Amino acid sequence: MSIEIEILNGDASWKLAEPLFDAVWPPHVVKASPWAGIVFANPDLRVLVQDTSGDVVCHGGVYQRAITCNGRRMRAGGIGGVLTRADTRRRGYATLALEAAIRTLKDEGSADFALLFCAPDKVPFYTARDWKRFDGEIYVEQPSGRIRFDAIAPYVHDIRRAPRQGAMDLCGLPW
C-alpha cells in the first residue's frame, strides 16, 4: 500500500481533515474527554497522510507561536490533533505525521522546541518517540480569559531548547 503525505495550510485543508475528525472524535467522545469544553486553536499547517484511494487516514496539526517560558520569549512549535483512523492504526502513520511535523518546524527554523498535549493512554507512544514530560504550569487563553491548562499533560520535543519545568504561557488558545 502506498501513501501520500501532504503538509497544507491549516484553514484551507480543514475540509480534507474533517471526515477523519468526525470518525475518530465524534461529539460523544469529545464530550466525555478530559478536554471537553476547551476551545483549541486551529492549526497553521496540517500534516495529512492519505491512502491510495485519497482518503485521509492520519492527521497532525502544526502550530507556530511566540510564547513565554520561565519569563523568556521563545518560539514554540505546537503539535496537536494527532489522530489515525481506527482501521489503519499500528501501521506507522502517526509516527510519519509526527516526523513530518517536526521536520517542517526544523526546516523552517520556526521553533525552539515542539510541544504537544497527551492523554494518559498515549504517553507510551510519545515517550517512545523522544517526547519528554514538561513538569510545570501551562497557561492558555480561553473565551473566559487566561487559565491554567491541566486537562492533558504537556510533552516537549527538543529542537534548539529543552524546557522541562517552570511556567509556560502559550499566549493564546491551546493546540
pLDDT of residue 63: 97
pLDDT tens digits for range 35-86:
999 999 999 999 999 998 889 999 999 999 999 999 999 999 999 999 999 9
User: What are the chain's domains?
Assistant: 4-169 (3.40.630.30)
121-173 residue pLDDT tens: 999 999 999 999 999 999 999 999 999 999 999 999 999 999 999 999 999 99
| pLDDT tens digits, one per residue of 103-124 | 999 999 989 999 999 999 999 9
Asked if 59 and 20 count as a contact pair (C-beta separation under 8 A), the reply is yes
Nearest Cα residue to 140 out of 132, 150, 131, 130 = 150
The length of the chain, given as a count of residues: 175
Residue 51 DSSP class:
-
* Of 95, 87, 101, 82, the residue nearest 55 (C-alpha): 87
The candidate with the shortest Cα–Cα distance to 30, out of 152, 171, 159, is 152
CA atoms of 78 and 30, how far apart (whole Å): 20
> Is 164 strand, coil or helix?
coil
Residue 165 CB partners (closer than 8 Å, separation 6+) = 134, 135, 136
Q: What is the pLDDT of residue 30?
A: 93
pLDDT at 3 (0 to 100): 85
pLDDT at 121: 93
Pairing between strand 132-133 and 165-169? unpaired
DSSP for 103-140 reads HHHHHHT--SEEEEEE-GGGHHHHHTTT-EE-EEEEEE
pLDDT at 110: 83
CB 69 within 8 A of CB 166: yes
The per-residue pLDDT for 1 is 55
CA distance 50 to 57: 6
Q: What is the pLDDT of residues 80-104, one digit of tens each?
A: 999 999 999 999 999 999 999 999 9
- Calculate the alpha carbon distances from 66 to 53, 153, 159 in Å: 38, 20, 15
